Amino acid sequence: MTSGWDSVPSPYVELSRDAWRALRENTPLPLTPGELEALRGLKDPIDITEVEEVYLPLSRLLNLFFLADWRLRDTVSGFLGGEVRPTPFIIGVAGSVAVGKSTTSRLLRTLLARWPEHPSVELVTTDSFLYPNAVLSERGIMDRKGFPESYDRRALVRFVSEIKAGAAEAAIPVYSHLEYDIVPDTVQTVRRPDILIVEGLNVLQAPPPGTLGVSDLFDFSIYVDARVEDIRQWYVDRLFALRRTAFTDPRSYFHKYARELDEDETAAFAQRVWRDVNEINLVSNILPTRARATLVLHKDRDHAVQRVRLRRI
């Protein structure tokens, strides 16, 4: 199917890449190849053509949603007979480890900040809300890092609630991928952006009954999707790339793997971590949230987005 309505009723309309590309219309490309190189994740082959055909139409759609949110606020203001304070438009980006959601988030932050209506765009990741390694070790869940129970869900919801309520600023912890832990006495301060992007594995997960979930505060949500077997290979490829780069730094939590493991041992290690940790988390916790997204970007084996599914109701 290329575009249009399914014969079976569905809350989504599915579009081929060609159909989606046409929705860019006259949206200009505000990004150079050099800037894209700086935004690209390790082993992510995204190029300018992908930006033009996939992410420019998406930035146009997000801008339309943003403007519609403004109009809705004006409607509420008129109903209440007084001005309603502007609050940030919040976008959630979810998906598996190694699927490319971080590149997607950084790219959207840059593209959206160059629309005239919203020059201030902030990006936070749920890594900032992981419990410190000491806490994970104490609870016996160090090997479940990235699973829902490894995050301080209340702190995440509290932060996004404050931002959504229009707080002047809010501070959150900082996570170091190099050290694989929360950095002590360091914070990221978010100051009332026009748009806030929240990126993470489990941001679309439904909350426990009777509680508020972070996804309840999103105005738009994106799920970056691919076949499990393709993500597995991307994960292995990325780990090998890290072994040659970040893991060589003596400060790296995984430095010993760069020193002690040969290529066969590294491949076995990567496959084991994928099988015993990341694939279980993906199948059990992350993939089931895909149906809650406003929009799904589906990638093929070459990382290129070939299908887009947009919620219409």
- Residues making up the annotated binding site are 95-102
* 104 sits in which H/E element: helix 101-113
Strand partners, 181: 176
**Nearest Cα to Cα of residue 94 among 191, 14, 202:** 202
Residues 6+ apart with CB under 8 A from 143: 276, 277
Q: Angle between the 263-273 and 228-244 helix axes, to the nearest 10 degrees?
A: 140
Query: Within 13 Å, how many C-alpha atoms sit on residue 29's CB side?
Result: 14
- The burial class, CB within 10 Å (0-12 / 13-18 / 19+), for 243 is buried
**Nearest Cα to Cα of residue 157 among 90, 81, 71:** 90
Residue numbers in the known binding site for ATP are: 95-102
Beta carbons of 200 and 281 less than 8 angstroms apart? no
